[in-house]
Structure 1
């Protein structure tokens, strides 16, 4: 194996905490990303709420809240995307300014010591503390605590503890809601720049127009709208302190706030708290948004910081009780694995089926969109956490089915073409070579529908929403594909596979293989419904106006689908002509040329057999029973040697297959890389945000990799292994009404139902009934 990138150790290792001790201004953007907090509805980076004049990114985001932006090309062709959506920076509801002796706190210029910033993964709280020494040598210890409520997701909570060490006196605080925020990436994403943002072109990129601001009793509220997308964001706050306060109202353009004075006593802690409530809608009725937001704020008016924190912690305790992965003997990897689980759950926990997993959390790069990563990487984790959450992710796609049909028409296709990169349900990226050539998004959604129905056995979903999506996606894929006049077989021409280092290729193996699977599965579901649910069958075919000849065509297309394979070597050819591409030794590429996107001319990338990330290798994982162990080994060794791992999605898939093949040391190294990808800034781009899909891959590397979980047989399959670095590990999955706990040591594996009824699984090829009493098997290495 070969992994070019080196770690950049900065944060302390702890099983449940991420700690920054001492402050390095050069690491501020990195730390802001790592210390991001979210609750599915909203997200804030770990920026300093008291203001910071040094380099930073003030990021405050709301899922699905976007602004539309024009895409500018020197030349436009039919089908080009000309308008996209981006999740813009919204209200700074944490806004605080602290003044002592006429000096306003700013860590870029102030004298301070004992700086420590801590993210507690157990309850998703961020704490920051330091001692500020003013020009007059007064020392004030400050502790900031924040969280975004997991249960009441409109609620953002802030606590500031002020403790004078050598004086008594007055501290002045200004607290408010600020819409004067900048969306940096509006100036352009420059792939040659380290941060992604083109700072040379940075202009005034604020997209908010204030509509209304008002003080209602002790509630301060403001509402603003985006310029073109019609999103209205209501934000409000209340403050409290452990002493009487007399706030003074401050109103400015795009800002509402208060000023107050705290009388602080030496060696005594004074507490100031702020509770913010945010609400947004996309509508033409701005007054209704204000009314709805105000009602919500008033409903939550009596909730205190401590009450909210208690409920918030209960939600997190339940999550960790069900989804924690424990590793004995490897603290660095333990921290990385738990951080990955944390990232996925703060990103999405199933509150709404109108939201999706953000590809990148706590940053502007990728603009808050979701990709095929949701269905391929993230959906399976949620499926084994709680099937209801997995169903909501599929329902998200169903709600956007009309937009997918519209998106297909844009590129002269029938049926539904789900967008490659989206917030709105349409294509929300102007990089045409990806959004228009990577047609495997449809196939990813097919896979998630099949996987969910197969594992969770939800026929109600399959026979209603699922079949409708399948029929429209099959119709689209049939209209994209074509017949070879030379060979008489079928396939997809002019595509880009998941690898992304080869553009406009024919017969990409991954795309063709999944296309064949999708056609066959859809026909199976139709036949099953015709037999078992004829009324629903008729309802489905009538709704999509299925033509009688279409199923016959799909059957023929599946039968004649071209799947490229060298029968002598057993290697599946990634795409037509791949074996004939010039070879490059990936392991010999110098570190100075990594990342490749930033150092190679873009067009140069496509001329070699180098891969960005797994393409064909996904298939032996998704459909493990379709391939022999020897086929898996041959293809893994062939393609891994040609993979640059330029994508954050790559290491986890390789870890899964390496573990299955008995390459445990290799699997461990891939997992360790994936688990600490952002914590150790391997890609040198953590400052742009956290790789959410990669975090889902870490879960899969543990459960499907070393746990040996495979899901494409009649029952779950486990083939557990353990690397030499660990003493033991534990994980849980929810399966068909049972919470199943797995505990693996170097000698044995213990399987036990800890909630629910007994279930049948396969372990090392033998069928076993797992009960609450548990089952112990000897570990096979």
Structure 2
């Protein structure tokens, strides 16, 4: 089932039982603190129901065949907590169940402006009784701990005896482990242990604690009966189940209406009774506001989001729809995440065990820095709060400074796989890059001093101790035994991406010390000298025979990979080809050197970018959801705007089309952000150029207009691009200078500046591995 294309809603009609898990993901609601998958109100059938709290995890030992010194011992797994979404309906004693009776009408709509999941259905029971149901569900952006459901049921044709059973429950879920490393770990069914419960009138509360980590979650539900006079009510709560029941006869065309409020609080090693009291107060706040007021606050919050983030791309209705969906999900999975990480899947599913990786800083935060700067700052403040754990990890590895976790929830390293875990030091480069970039884009000196400076300094110390000046290379600074973004090339010497990002970090840290003072940052003068010396002497692998940069020192010495021997259904290769084979061949999982060219473009000439891209494009199989967005950016830069458009569509539609066949486990937030980058950094050509934004826009055929706002140093700049020109205007704030195809424009409030689009240059010949070319994109209309 593919949703209908509409600009501001994600609409699904009918009910696809074989696609239920994918649908639950796509209709997820979150606010970054609390996430609820898009399950049916009645709770069954459900493929992968889930309610998640940011930072709420269980621990488990990391299994090793042979554990080495310094290997992490404990994994962290996001816990599916108490479910409060179930509102079961019984019609003349028969349960509403889409698997029985006759489904006359069914539609669910994720409203991107209202921030609400709206459901309508008409159903005839096996006994011939017809009912209509409408529900509205939200996870509040204004009150992070609160969610709500407005529910109504109407008897059709004649009076019917109805029973509504509204639950708050911890349910044992049957989920089996697989061999796919992208899926989350499966926790025991008894992970949450009941601690205490209470109930009164229409309210019930439950508290549970994880067995190993000691995290406590308290959840509560309360109800307002808006229309249903004469119905009998009961309430009960015990252990892991609380239920409020409403029973009576509903007259035809006189629906019963109720509002259900939910509140959640979680904390490590908390006293359950104390958390229950906190939940009680949150429910009091929710009742005082009421569902309709919460809905109005939700709409107002999203009005502000769209004023700062909306992308208008005319000519392709499907991509336009997907861009707005992406922006909505990026916002709602980060909005209230203060004090916690933004996981790779957000709070939309159990994929990757709820871990955060480098892709948050490298792909998600750049979009947030321009669209929702507070969210980006909160994510980086969380990273900075884990500095003590990163320093401890560095010490275990014999390094100075800070070495951040490759994958984590709470800050501790959770990766038990050295080649694509501990050795992937580029996670530190992504963190330093995001911190420096956010400081530059926001112009926030306090953030720079409190967050960016400590991060850049400690990571610079790590690079200085990880690498060394190699006399065999004329004193060049080398970083050996690391894994770059391409996880099909591991434990390599002088990965170009890692080296260039380390170089930028070392220079940025040194500049910060110059500006803020060595004493204020606790840096010895000799350290700054060493950082600059290392940066200036950084090894930049280059092959003069092929006339290209090397992904790592030995990459082009490896044998070619036999792409013709791999069938299309054998992708991703990691599930079908032994790592032994992948690691010793020229095959690339995701852009590595190409990513370096997008974020360190200053280190390459235009001609080098064209040659490098042509070489590595032919080896990249895009077995990662992170790939297409980066390739779109580089394709646009070298002049192949059609290929950039193809990759834009692949990135932004990845979850809609379930291209990776694992959207059931949660959204790919970095792929959604990659779609943003494909538009803003690709088609619009945005780069940060010293103290000025630089644009090099060009649109593909069939796209007549692209428009978007950017927040930059307290200003809101609006950019509009057509095939012939690009006007720039100040929507709020002071005047600004921008660069358009190398020309400096002055943009003042009330005085837009416009410039012509530069003529296109011939693009290099680009090819992909056999069977891995992206689908050629053509504009689509709403019809």
TM-score > 0.5, shorter chain as reference: yes
2:224 pairs with 1:243:
no
Which residue in 1 is equivalent to 2:51? 60
Identify the range of structure 1 (503-512 vs 623-632) with the bigger mean alpha-carbon deviation.
Answer: 623-632
2:150 pairs with 1:169:
no
1:724: Cα distance to partner? 0.8
**Contact 2:102–2:123 (CA under 8 A) maintained in structure 1:** yes
Superposition pairs of residues 92-491 of structure 1, within 5 angstroms: 92-182=83-173, 184=175, 188-191=177-180, 196=183, 204-241=188-225, 242-244=227-229, 245-349=231-335, 351-361=336-346, 362-484=348-470, 486-487=472-473, 488-491=475-478
Which residue in 2 is equivalent to 1:521? 508
Give deviations 1:436-479, integer Å, cap 9, x for gaps. Answer: 11001111111112212333333333234322222221222222
**Contact 1:178–1:254 (CA under 8 A) maintained in structure 2:** yes
Identify the range of structure 1 (498-507 vs 381-390) with the bigger mean alpha-carbon deviation.
Answer: 381-390
Partner Cα separation in structure 1 for residue 544 and residue 374 of structure 2: 43
Partner Cα separation in structure 2 for residue 391 and residue 249 of structure 1: 43
When residues 719 and 68 of structure 1 are mapped into structure 2, their CA distance, relative to the original with a 3 A threshold, is: same
What SS does the corresponding residue of 1:690 show, helix, strand or coil?
Answer: coil
2:486 pairs with 1:499:
yes
**Contact 1:416–1:475 (CA under 8 A) maintained in structure 2:** yes
Superposition pairs of residues 601-680 of structure 1, within 5 angstroms: 601-680=578-657
**Contact 2:157–2:252 (CA under 8 A) maintained in structure 1:** yes
What SS does the corresponding residue of 1:300 show, helix, strand or coil?
Answer: helix
When residues 528 and 586 of structure 1 are mapped into structure 2, their CA distance, relative to the original with a 3 A threshold, is: farther
When residues 586 and 326 of structure 1 are mapped into structure 2, their CA distance, relative to the original with a 3 A threshold, is: farther
Which residue in 1 is equivalent to 2:2? 10
Give deviations 1:172-215, integer Å, cap 9, x for gaps. Answer: 0111210124384xx645218xx9479xxx78423111111112
Give deviations 1:665-705, integer Å, cap 9, x for gaps. Answer: 10110001111110011111111110001111111111111
When residues 747 and 539 of structure 1 are mapped into structure 2, their CA distance, relative to the original with a 3 A threshold, is: closer
Relative to the length of structure 2, the TM-score reads 0.93
**Contact 2:204–2:221 (CA under 8 A) maintained in structure 1:** yes
Partner Cα separation in structure 1 for residue 43 and residue 511 of structure 2: 59
Aligned equivalent of 2:18, options 19, 22, 26? 26
Aligned equivalent of 2:42, options 47, 50, 53? 50
1:586: Cα distance to partner? 4.5
Partner Cα separation in structure 1 for residue 272 and residue 479 of structure 2: 47
Give deviations 1:528-583, integer Å, cap 9, x for gaps. Answer: 223xxxxxx31321xxxx45543333333223221101245541100111011111
When residues 764 and 203 of structure 1 are mapped into structure 2, their CA distance, relative to the original with a 3 A threshold, is: closer
Aligned equivalent of 1:780, options 736, 747, 758? 758
1:110: Cα distance to partner? 4.1
When residues 751 and 559 of structure 1 are mapped into structure 2, their CA distance, relative to the original with a 3 A threshold, is: closer
Partner Cα separation in structure 2 for residue 737 and residue 153 of structure 1: 26
Partner Cα separation in structure 1 for residue 722 and residue 533 of structure 2: 49
Aligned equivalent of 2:667, options 690, 706, 722? 690
Give deviations 1:235-282, integer Å, cap 9, x for gaps. Answer: 111112212344212233311121111432223333222111111222
Give deviations 1:268-314, integer Å, cap 9, x for gaps. Answer: 33322211111122234333222222222223321211111011011
Relative to the length of structure 1, the TM-score reads 0.93
**Contact 1:372–1:420 (CA under 8 A) maintained in structure 2:** yes
**Contact 1:250–1:257 (CA under 8 A) maintained in structure 2:** yes
2:684 pairs with 1:729:
no
Identify the range of structure 1 (686-695 vs 513-522) with the bigger mean alpha-carbon deviation.
Answer: 513-522
Which residue in 1 is equivalent to 2:521? 540
Partner Cα separation in structure 2 for residue 419 and residue 302 of structure 1: 42
Partner Cα separation in structure 1 for residue 282 and residue 28 of structure 2: 25
Gaps of 5+ in 1: 1-8, 531-536
**Contact 1:223–1:290 (CA under 8 A) maintained in structure 2:** yes
Aligned length: 754
Give deviations 1:376-427, integer Å, cap 9, x for gaps. Answer: 1111111112433332222111111111111222323222111111111111
Partner Cα separation in structure 1 for residue 65 and residue 642 of structure 2: 50
Gaps of 5+ in 2: 760-783
1:352: Cα distance to partner? 4.8
**Contact 1:235–1:279 (CA under 8 A) maintained in structure 2:** yes
2:719 pairs with 1:742:
yes
Which residue in 1 is equivalent to 2:771? none
When residues 70 and 529 of structure 1 are mapped into structure 2, their CA distance, relative to the original with a 3 A threshold, is: same
**Contact 1:741–1:753 (CA under 8 A) maintained in structure 2:** yes
1:38: Cα distance to partner? 0.5
RMSD (Å) for aligned C-alpha atoms:
2.0
**Contact 1:81–1:432 (CA under 8 A) maintained in structure 2:** no
Which residue in 1 is equivalent to 2:728? 751
